[in-house]
Amino acid sequence: MENLPALFSDLALILVTAGLTTVIFKWLKQPVVLGYIIAGFLIGPNFEWFPVIKDHTSVETWSEIGMVFMLFGIGLEFSFKKLKKVGGTVGVTALTELVTMCMMGFMLGKALGWSQMDCIFLGAMLSISSTTIIAKAFDDMKLHREKFSGNVIGELVVEDLEAVLLLVILSTLAVSQSFNGMELVTSMLKLVFFLLVWFFGGIFLVPTVLRWSRKFMSEETLTVFAVGLCFLMVVLANIAGYSSALGAFIMGSILAETLEAEAIHKVTTPIKNLFGAVFFVSVGMMVDPHILVGYWWQILVITLALLFFKPLSNIVGRLLAGLDLKQAMQGGMCFSQIGEFSFIIATLGLSYGVIDEFLYPIIVSVSIITTFLTPYSIKSAIPGYNLIVKRIPQRWKEKLTNKDSGLKVRSGKKVNMGSFLSRQFKNIVIYLAIIIAVVLISFFICSFIMEYVSRPWSSAISTALSLMLVSPFLWAMGFKHTLAHTTRKLMEVSKFNKTLILLVFILRFVIVTAIAYSVIQHFLNGLFWSRLSVGSPWYHWINIAFALIYTFMLRAMSPAMKFYKRIEERFMDNLNKRQSMQVFTVPEILQENCHLQKMTLSPDSVYSGQLVKETDFRDNYNVSVVSVERGKQIIELPKADFQLFPFDKITFVGHEDHLRLMLPKVEVFDDQLIPDREESEVDIYKVEVESDSPLIDVALMDSGFADKYDAMVIAIERGRHFILNPSARITFQPADLVWFVAQKDKAEILMRMRAADVRPDRKAAQLNNCQLPTAN
């Protein structure tokens, strides 16, 4: 027999052990993630009384794939528009937590007598929370649609970006033992550049490809395509020097803007659950009782400090950002753990040899303990809030609990000079990122031309091709005008405004010329001009002249730049496609108070089968039904006497808080996947039509089987013929063997009246090839 690879036995051990422990934890009404960690400890190398895994390398790879799918799933439920909406709040909160935990970790390390580099790395490791742990806790506790969950996910994204910058800072400190501000700025610009390129390129390309292939997509092909895109972005992020988790999240966020988002989430969730289980089991495998015993008091001190200061700093940050105390505590208590980025930071310190070896196992132990406690920390938010509200003075209570209460009213936005400049510089940054990406792509393409075409023709062709590819975007940055009427109004206000606006337009012109000159100079360099007997500095002036001529030509081509307009229209259409499929789009002026949400009506919902006028949507929740999607049919603005059926997809309009309160009554979930069912009293019986039976020559419809005995005749044996599902007009003949389905008590009555020797016959199971209808 061929020997199986060790991975097979390892996976069997992991999944069977995880399955048993999670069943026990579900029975104990505890979070499933804790069961995975216990399972990992049992099969890990530090527990001697249980079989252990053999191929650690393969399991680590599987666990990393699990982290990728966890972040991909988070991205599918995320939206860049949501991040824009909560951007100010999560930015203030994440920065507050980062500064507080870095300082606290540094001081705690000093108190423990550690070296300065140990203290710095400890602060960095304690400042980053675990996205995967919080996401899994949200899944287990069904908190994804709570109001605070959007802020939490947004902050986790910001923290992951902070972690990337921390890695740059710590790498610099480890190598040079000093801080290099310019390198940090360069890394930040590089990160912003890649995020913009990934976002704009992804939003333009991915939905376009999906739209083209939509009619060919099945569940199988959609699964393969979505997972392939996920790993493609993971590879690109790794090439750019960023984590696989960030790449998976970005691709999930891009796909979240497509019409296929819900279907992709559905088909990839089982994959995420499988690999996610391996990830959390691998975390449990790192539990080492010897480390816990040897460094127990350091681990205890760091864990207690983390459990207190990390949620506290997050809560303070949320209060500073303008949230009320309840939302601040619900969100803040989620951030009570450290995770995968802390391990990466610790590994970085060990690889440079700047931290002591004991720090890594201590951080791993703290991570496991806080991971175990995270669900309980999240659950403690509301009881803690209620306790604080009872104890604080009344004036504090009013200030902390009445924020964001009531409706926010916005009038039309008035464009001023500040908003104009902000819009202009934001557009310049976005266009620059896109232009640089296009230029780099064109340089890559032109490298083949330079290799296979002789000079100087290769340089001339490459220059023309590069400028042609980048022209639409250079034109947009230099000469595309939006809000032209508003711009003229601002220029008429004062000479200062006019001068400032003209300077902005001149800056855009100069940037376009500089980029054009850089492209020309790259190909038409000194080597090119030397072949034409043109020396320095004359060829520089010639290239500048070419760049100016090209820029003026771009300006003259403004009426012909329809190609760029099509690109921009396609991008905006892709970005807003899901929103445009709604009955209507809520204007920005109303988005603080008005929200559209689609819910699927569960069969067990109290509203299933009710007319719209019979529901309490308006009276108790102040929401209205906008549309109902039933199969391929969409009923817009249904009338009051419209009946709601199970699995209807209902779009409601109302305040976000009211919709959140109503959601559990519309979408009713049963924690038990396969519900228990009582044994049916319906069975199959047979009765023979005897020669003196009153049924002879009586039609089935007149026999009383259905009317009197609630029985359903499913077959008649007549000689060698077997009549399945006989017609209602068929008449009974002597010696017919009638098979019928009925409840036991009704069948017994029927058989006593119709025949002398009739009994239930289990051999009727031979009929189970057909799906039997229930009795009438």
Tens of pLDDT, residue by residue over 220-247, are 999 999 999 999 988 988 887 777 777 8
How far is Cα 603 from Cα 651, in angstroms, rounded to an integer? 17
3-state SS string for 529-594 = HHHCCCCCCHHHHHHHHHHHHHHHHHHHCHHHCHHHHHHHHHHHHHHCHHHHCCCCCCCHHHCCCC
Residue 3 has φ and ψ, to the nearest 5°, of -75, 135
Kindly report the pTM of this predicted structure: 0.69
| pLDDT class of 300 with cuts at 50, 70, 90 | very high
User: 180-232, pLDDT tens digit by residue?
Assistant: 566 666 766 777 777 777 777 788 888 888 888 888 888 899 999 999 999 99
Provide the mean pLDDT of the chain: 80
The DSSP 8-state label assigned to residue 611 in this structure reads B
pLDDT band at 739 (very low <50, low <70, confident <90, very high): very high
pLDDT in tens, 685-731: 988 888 888 888 889 888 888 888 889 999 999 988 889 999 999 99
**Matching residue, tokens 């026990």:** 24
Q: Do 156 and 399 contact (CB within 8 A), yes or no?
A: no
pLDDT (tens digit per residue) in 452-481: 887 778 888 888 888 888 888 888 888 887
Residues 152-176 pLDDT 10s: 888 887 887 777 777 767 776 776 6
Q: Which pair of tokens denotes residue 535?
A: 């020396």
**Residue 608, CA distances (Å) to 493, 596, 615, 644 in order:** 60, 21, 10, 6
Cα separation, 124 vs 108, whole angstroms: 12
Q: In what order do the strands lie in the sheet with 721-724?
A: 682-688, 737-743, 712-718, 721-724
